[in-house]
Structure 1
Amino acid sequence: MPKGHPFHASILREYDIRGIVGETLSAADAEAIGKAFATMTARKTNKTAPKIAVGRDGRMSSPELEAALVAGIKSTGASAVRVGTGPTPMLYFAAAELSVDAGIMVTGSHNPPTHNGFKMVIAGKPVYGEMIKEIGKMAAAGDYAGGNGGEEATDIRDAYVKKLAEALDGTGISKLKVGWDAGNGAAGEIMARLVKVLPGTHKTLFEEIDGTFPNHHPDPTEPENLHHLQELVAKEKLDLGIAFDGDGDRIGAIDAKGRIIWGDQLLAILGRDVLAKRPGATIIADVKASQALFDEIAKMGGKPLMWKTGHSLIKVKMAETKSPLAGEMSGHIFFADEYYGFDDALYGAVRLLRAVARSGKSLTELRDQLPTLVNTPEIRIPCPDDKKFAIVSDLAGELRKEGADFNDVDGIRISKDGGWWLLRASNTQAVLVARAEAPDEKVLAGLKSDLKARLQRHGVAFAG
């Protein structure tokens, strides 16, 4: 029996594997993940020697982790097809387009430079939840296939950029002036290649891939990370700006006034374009999205569906409902319309330019047409992992006894006084996540007070 390898308890997450290099994640872990993932792929595809696409982001630790991962894959008899450094969606593209059975990406996503991890797909489907737990069990037991696999390198960058550019579908964007900010993340090189083949005027920032992220942290959902892009748009008098996270699967956008276009607002704008040719289609958004989005989708003739937060969960629901478009407040945008159904911020960016051009309006005008509500940002409340789910469950029980109107698809989203508040347990951190939205500040204050009082009765306090 091969020797088992236990992982640090914190790295096996709901949607991926993620840890701090040198503390909770090591090259030995990467090798064990390669062995377990390749073995799982072989068993799920009924192939003794599957082929697995492997990619990596630009973090300083990624080359070492990728090398160990590939060694682990080869030790099972599987073969690694190395696609090099690039965004996570490029790895998903490789898994879809190359003759491979699975794909695995070495990436720390939008986390700090010292973090890293792995995102996985088998036979076009995301690996998450129980499958990630199973990888941990297989590694702990040393339950691996054996063999002598090979490896090869393939360059898919040109094919990927060509596919992204095809999203314009003949739509003219030659009049648009666009700013782009890769934040020194893994999308940088592809972004630079893409803008060279797109019509219009394009100004880029921080396309050099640098795992130390010297200019700003690559998370476009945090307003402080968009300052450089806002300055560029203002200085060059651009029509809009687009930003990416560390591995290129989440998008951020600003209009000509420098206003942030949040994930649910982007989804409303993109949804209008999709529904024009696919009336009645289901558009999915996570529970953190504004009620205005769900109302807009319905008004445009679509079927709005509120679903659980988490890129893997959204992908599965899209396939189940045949939804052409989905999104999250975090900036994950998923297109199955003319695309593969995975979250690709570069593809989403091109579709945004297409939607703006087709509308005959500017992004600023499209933003101004959306309803204006008041809401909180995402509030993250520290709460021990062993208590967070129980607190949400207990609160749901109390609300049922009160006869309250709430949705429990992912935590609690209670409708009250023309607004709502949300409370859910994070699947990736020791926190409770809260958000509230209302027609005015007075109602918003009342919603926040209601949530605070309920949490205080369970020994949880927050200042939001």
Structure 2
Amino acid sequence: MKDINSEIFRAYDIRGIVGQDFDEEWVENLGRSCGTWFLSKGWNRAVVGHDCRHSSPAYQAAITRGLNASGVDVLFLNLVPSPVLYFAARKLNYKAGVMITASHNPPEFNGFKIWGNDTTIHTDDIQQICQIMKSGNFAEGSGIASHHDIVPYYIEDLLSGIKIKRPVKIVLDGGNGAGGHIALKLLRQAGAEVIPLYCTPDGDFPNHHPDPVVEAYMGDLLKAVVEHGAEAGIGLDGDADRIGAVDENGRLMPGDRLLAIYAREMLSRKPGETVVADVKCSHLLFEDIEKHGGRQIMARTGHSIMKAKMAETGAGLGGEMSGHIFFADRFYGFDDGIYSALRLIEILAHEKQPLSKMLSDWPETFFTPELRIDCPEKIKFELVEKAAQRLAEEYNVIDIDGVRVVFEDGWALVRASNTQAALTLRFEASSAKRMEEIKGIIESLLDKLTHELTG
């Protein structure tokens, strides 16, 4: 069995390289560890599913063996996107589950998202499972395993809550991930005219990296929207829990702009509702939520952390720059790129304005997408902590997740990535010149601190 590498037990999930960080024996022991942890909570049955990576079916079998050996019964779903596993847990009343996926990571990766109670677990709970695995003290039992095809129920349930007034023409890029074929079927049944791109699952991701909020990977979708005269383009990531949206002019929409469109629609029906957005989002989003009668909350980044914040605050909607959108309004509160696509099509069918004009009242600002710069795993958190201390001496800062520096005419964000040996940066300002100035202030400080920490 591969050694237990603590670094792959990350804040929101477990993620590593196949054959290097884990093998089937390792995964079986992870199943025993999860089973032991589930049973400590009083949960004796779990739902399990997997994405389309080549190692995923064998890992599903291995984790099922481990769960069964600990005394946990398993309902396995086979190939499904993450939100379908979340749906199964909610609708079938399973308090425990494991989704085998590395989301948008390259093909050589795989990973595990763990469902506990009513959401995916994070931080301390994931570390507890790591400690159980290291100890080797596993519960013993003989659970049973059975298969269930939940996808028809999922499609039926989502369609029952959505009313599309007219056919909407869209291009759908499934990224060869685990959800494209399901999204294609569902959106067509909903009444949309769908032109498919890369909707067949393929663990090699042969056409492009399955990350729909990075413009470099969405070139074919941007072109197809314009060529087909579509009203929008929709991209899904590898496990379909994130959405990327393209307007009718072939421009990729930032995640915070997309969240604002969803928020306006919800607040038109439910004034006073709460919207949670992560620290990477524009100040214009938070202002827009309040302008339209909502209550805004800025939160830490991370799909598991965001779901917990949604439950804690009773928010109707949440979202991240990365394209995780969480609907508790008319839905179950978890992130689902397929359902988010359905909600966007519903808005397009009702709105007279095209997608590109829906936020035409926002002032022009200049902003970067999420920028990632390599940073050694061992110093990334200390580096951000020191940067926060230095910046707080001179500027207003928000330090709920990394450090967000607030200037009179813009803002900057520095945080350590929880999934990579990297820092995540973002900048926004009232002019391109000022944005570059702010960027220079932050980057020069980071360079200085890196030299201090690495000698």
What's the counterpart of residue 434 of structure 1?
A: 425
Per the TM alignment, residue 392 of structure 1 is displaced from its structure 2 partner at its CA by 1.9
Retained in 2: the 8 A contact 1:11–1:25? no
Q: Are 1:135 and 2:126 an aligned pair?
A: no
- Residue from 8, 11, 16 that aligns with 2:5: 8
In 2: Cα distance, 1:371 partner to 1:358 partner: 25
Give SS of 2:449's match.
coil
For residues 249-300 of structure 1, give each alpha carbon's deviation from its aligned partner in whole angstroms, at most 9, with x where no partner exists.
0100101100111110110000001111111111111111111111111111
What's the counterpart of residue 34 of structure 2?
A: 37
Retained in 2: the 8 A contact 1:327–1:334? yes
Unaligned 5+ segments in structure 2 are none
What's the counterpart of residue 242 of structure 1?
A: 234
Q: Are 1:159 and 2:117 an aligned pair?
A: no
Retained in 2: the 8 A contact 1:283–1:302? yes
Give SS of 1:128's match.
coil
- Residue from 5, 15, 19 that aligns with 1:18: 15
For residues 309-338 of structure 1, give each alpha carbon's deviation from its aligned partner in whole angstroms, at most 9, with x where no partner exists.
101111111111100101111110000111
Aligned-partner residue type, residue 256 of structure 2: D
Aligned-partner residue type, residue 39 of structure 1: T
Aligned-partner residue type, residue 420 of structure 2: Q
Retained in 2: the 8 A contact 1:5–1:32? no
Aligned-partner residue type, residue 108 of structure 2: T
In 2: Cα distance, 1:405 partner to 1:83 partner: 49
In 2: Cα distance, 1:17 partner to 1:431 partner: 17
Q: Are 1:262 and 2:254 an aligned pair?
A: yes
Give SS of 2:134's match.
helix
In 1: Cα distance, 2:70 partner to 2:80 partner: 26
In 2: Cα distance, 1:35 partner to 1:263 partner: 38
Change (3 A) 1:258 1:38: same
Aligned-partner residue type, residue 166 of structure 2: I
Q: Are 1:457 and 2:448 an aligned pair?
A: yes
Q: How does 1:22-421 map to 2 (within 5 A)?
A: 22-44=19-41, 46-47=42-43, 50-168=44-162, 170-174=163-167, 176-402=168-394, 404-421=395-412
In 2: Cα distance, 1:230 partner to 1:367 partner: 20
Per the TM alignment, residue 37 of structure 1 is displaced from its structure 2 partner at its CA by 0.8
Normalising by the residue count of structure 1, what TM-score does the alignment of the two structures yield? 0.94
Name whichever of 14-23 and 374-383 sits farther off. Answer: 374-383
For residues 120-157 of structure 1, give each alpha carbon's deviation from its aligned partner in whole angstroms, at most 9, with x where no partner exists.
11121321111111111101111211011101101111
In 1: Cα distance, 2:398 partner to 2:366 partner: 20
Aligned-partner residue type, residue 331 of structure 2: Y
Aligned-partner residue type, residue 427 of structure 1: N
Retained in 2: the 8 A contact 1:16–1:117? yes
Give SS of 1:301's match.
coil
In 2: Cα distance, 1:364 partner to 1:173 partner: 19
Name whichever of 142-151 and 375-384 sits farther off. Answer: 375-384
Give SS of 2:110's match.
strand
In 1: Cα distance, 2:145 partner to 2:228 partner: 46
Aligned-partner residue type, residue 100 of structure 1: Y
Per the TM alignment, residue 31 of structure 1 is displaced from its structure 2 partner at its CA by 0.5
In 2: Cα distance, 1:450 partner to 1:214 partner: 39
**Aligned residues: CA RMSD:** 1.6
